[in-house]
Structure 1
């Protein structure tokens, strides 16, 4: 604890003040009563005015590699949109979609997962692709009001945050988890081991469950005829250059265990190249179009967890949870289930973006109580925060509802059904996969 903080409140008062700030910020982020950027700036201002921690702790989020990966991902997403490469990829998908409703939904969900590899921004993918999915629905005869249109749009919206949890740089919760682990424990995650651990269950199995729930809740059928789409123009020079940039970025991400360059700096380098005159695809002035409020939000989350940890509040919260959580060494199945439920519980109070920050801040306490190593405790939470039950828990789903003019009732039906199916089917399979791969002893 900093001497400055102790001089104002004393040790006990600093813990109370940090707790009040935690409740205030998480409450505002979860309810959306004020814009998330306002809450982020409020955190920085109050933490410094109240001297809850030194400046290097409060603003540690800006030094995190995850912050820069979010920023780089925003630039790459804008490049996909401005060059038309994202639309071209979707049109290429349309030419391969089966002319059946189950095949159509399966293709939409698979495309959402595939796009996450090259476009590391959930909100960016939603903004670019929901209009494209709407156009695909129109082309296949799923006009407004039909359940198949609602199902296809919601399947894409839910798949975007849920399945991308299996790809390290592909969504904000992953980056919050990785950045908090780096800030608190100096743990650096690698792209390929993370993908190997999570993709089989969180990507493939949950994708199958999502498709099944969509077809059951929003039944429909296509007429069996493939639509005639107008031909695409030839690849532009900007699209070619961006394709090369993305291919190199993905290759370097996949081989980070060999060359040792963290994914964040690879993503940031790709963003810089996109903005370079001559060889890039965006004018430098376009950086002003990047929604930096999301980047500041992520930095504030990292800073908040660092303050919680340094003030001693994290340890106290951990002890309080451990007094009721049935964690004990030598009971891996029960510990896995308990940690997953704890991670899911944070979703209801802090949403998917904030839940990893709270959980990771307590990970050391969970590790000591369960006997799991710290990395295993961190990885189990991904199973939890990728299990969504309500639309508000993931901003990309809310954005899909807005763009697609979908009702909250329909979105809740799909998220609740998929969440329950994931909890009952995907979570046990994830446990067995963790054991099989040696992640859990």
Structure 2
């Protein structure tokens, strides 16, 4: 009895320490008081010093597919930037954008989604495209100080992390969700079924909502006449090789249900190819310019989630939520709304990058309470965490503010309006779409 009591006491101490570490790390990541990578290293240090779990558990994030997909995505993004392929795509876009302000905004939003197919890094797309878009705005007469310039840049910056939630390998929250589901439940998500379930609403409907919100908040007009832009130079050999590599990568991603090769390993192979001598477009030394801090951040989130699950803290959090959540077996609409609300609630404490880790760790409990299968429970959260209300909840939006020299007030106006409109329109439409395609009973 004494040994059992001592073991139970030790277990409670571990749970308490894990809870403290969870609050500390999520709080620092949400507020940004210190750099994300410093918080990640702090997690690894404290978890090992306090012996909260074996080292394979604490460092399990480095073995996750998400870690390697983020890393490879940064390599591919650097290649797109270095070869000039990104600027070429932007110029092709600029030549085809309508001469009306609503059409201009809608075109930028659509381009942000299409770019996510070939460049799986939100921050990389923002860093590459915002300077180019500022030049495009100048060409269209949207000079500094005009509301249309602010609206156009913000529309692209907000669409980049939000609409890309409809593409499995295209943003960090998706990778956190998929990696956690794989680690905890051996649940593997595939590219095309994921795209078919989420893209019509999270990309199509929300893209239209974002266009309307932007045009209403930042009213402006584009002159019918604009000076011609300089002609594009001939496409280089490096751009051709990279385009072929990207086409192969995208093709393998879209057919993963046939060959069963996870997107992470396809992305990693593409990253190796672009750095091979003569075949690739980057030298091996270019890897030193990759921002590995984001990769360490992803690894820390997975390690923290694994500890939360192994210590029993996840079970206790799940039981607390189940005690207050109005789940009801067979009540699809009520359960869907409750699960989306829980996912949104996590955003305010942990941002889009951390919310999927906490939610997915509780998916088994939610499944038992609602009667929904585990895959549906995991996928419903995407409707929630793609619904941001404040800029800090999505780091790419903050980066857009910095690069575009846009005020926090203007950014918050658009994110708040877009978040509320999406909650009122896109979430109910998502529920109806899920019922139509058989995602919900």
TM range (shorter): over 0.9
Go from structure 1 to structure 2 and tell me whether the alpha carbon gap of 1:50 and 1:219 turns closer, same or farther (over 3 Å shift): same
Superposition map of 1:4-43 within 5 A:
10-43=10-43
- Which residue of structure 1 aligns with residue 184 of structure 2? 184
1-side partners of 2:24 and 2:9: how far apart? Answer: 18
2-side partners of 1:151 and 1:164: how far apart? Answer: 19
- Which residue of structure 2 aligns with residue 126 of structure 1? 126
Superposition map of 1:253-332 within 5 A:
253-332=253-332
Unaligned regions of 5+ residues in structure 1, if any?
none
Contact 1:18/1:307 (8 A) holds in 2: yes
Q: Is 2:173 aligned against 1:163?
A: no
Between 1:178-187 and 1:220-229, the stretch displaced more is: 220-229
Q: CA-to-partner distance for each residue in 1:353-401, whole Å, 9 max, x for gaps? A: 0000111111111111111111000000000000010000000000000
Contact 1:308/1:314 (8 A) holds in 2: yes
Contact 2:141/2:226 (8 A) holds in 1: no
Superposition map of 1:136-151 within 5 A:
136-151=136-151
1-side partners of 2:421 and 2:320: how far apart? Answer: 30
Deviation at 1:280, TM superposition (A): 0.4
Q: Is 2:88 aligned against 1:112?
A: no
Go from structure 1 to structure 2 and tell me whether the alpha carbon gap of 1:50 and 1:80 turns closer, same or farther (over 3 Å shift): same
Go from structure 1 to structure 2 and tell me whether the alpha carbon gap of 1:407 and 1:184 turns closer, same or farther (over 3 Å shift): same
Deviation at 1:96, TM superposition (A): 0.4
Deviation at 1:49, TM superposition (A): 1.1
Superposition map of 1:388-427 within 5 A:
388-427=388-427
Deviation at 1:224, TM superposition (A): 1.2
Deviation at 1:227, TM superposition (A): 3.5
Deviation at 1:7, TM superposition (A): 7.3
Equivalent pairs counted in the alignment come to: 437
Deviation at 1:417, TM superposition (A): 0.6
2-side partners of 1:189 and 1:51: how far apart? Answer: 32
Deviation at 1:263, TM superposition (A): 0.6
Q: Is 2:242 aligned against 1:238?
A: no
Which segments of structure 1 move beyond 4 Å, counting only runs of 4 or more? 6-9
Q: Is 2:153 aligned against 1:153?
A: yes
1-side partners of 2:91 and 2:143: how far apart? Answer: 18
Deviation at 1:226, TM superposition (A): 4.1
- Which residue of structure 1 aligns with residue 227 of structure 2? 227
Deviation at 1:50, TM superposition (A): 0.8
Deviation at 1:435, TM superposition (A): 1.1
Q: CA-to-partner distance for each residue in 1:264-296, whole Å, 9 max, x for gaps? A: 110110000011111001010000000000000
2-side partners of 1:346 and 1:185: how far apart? Answer: 21
- Which residue of structure 2 aligns with residue 49 of structure 1? 49
Q: Is 2:314 aligned against 1:340?
A: no
Deviation at 1:9, TM superposition (A): 6.7
Deviation at 1:167, TM superposition (A): 0.2
Deviation at 1:130, TM superposition (A): 0.2
Q: Counterpart of 1:231 in 2: which secondary structure?
A: coil
Q: Counterpart of 1:285 in 2: which secondary structure?
A: helix
1-side partners of 2:206 and 2:329: how far apart? Answer: 29
Q: Counterpart of 2:200 in 1: which secondary structure?
A: helix
Q: Counterpart of 2:234 in 1: which secondary structure?
A: coil
Q: CA-to-partner distance for each residue in 1:277-316, whole Å, 9 max, x for gaps? A: 1100101000000000000000000010000000000000
Contact 1:366/1:377 (8 A) holds in 2: yes
2-side partners of 1:37 and 1:379: how far apart? Answer: 28
1-side partners of 2:131 and 2:391: how far apart? Answer: 19
TM-score (norm 1): 0.98
Go from structure 1 to structure 2 and tell me whether the alpha carbon gap of 1:13 and 1:275 turns closer, same or farther (over 3 Å shift): same
1-side partners of 2:376 and 2:79: how far apart? Answer: 36
Q: CA-to-partner distance for each residue in 1:301-353, whole Å, 9 max, x for gaps? A: 00100000000000000000111110111100000000000000000000000
Contact 1:130/1:400 (8 A) holds in 2: yes
1-side partners of 2:247 and 2:194: how far apart? Answer: 20
2-side partners of 1:122 and 1:96: how far apart? Answer: 24
- Which residue of structure 2 aligns with residue 66 of structure 1? 66
- Which residue of structure 2 aligns with residue 354 of structure 1? 354
Unaligned regions of 5+ residues in structure 2, if any?
none
Contact 1:177/1:360 (8 A) holds in 2: yes
1-side partners of 2:8 and 2:268: how far apart? Answer: 40
Go from structure 1 to structure 2 and tell me whether the alpha carbon gap of 1:206 and 1:261 turns closer, same or farther (over 3 Å shift): same
Between 1:65-74 and 1:121-130, the stretch displaced more is: 65-74
Contact 1:347/1:385 (8 A) holds in 2: yes
Contact 1:168/1:175 (8 A) holds in 2: yes
Contact 1:8/1:51 (8 A) holds in 2: no
Contact 1:360/1:378 (8 A) holds in 2: yes
2-side partners of 1:120 and 1:350: how far apart? Answer: 22
Q: Counterpart of 1:33 in 2: which secondary structure?
A: coil
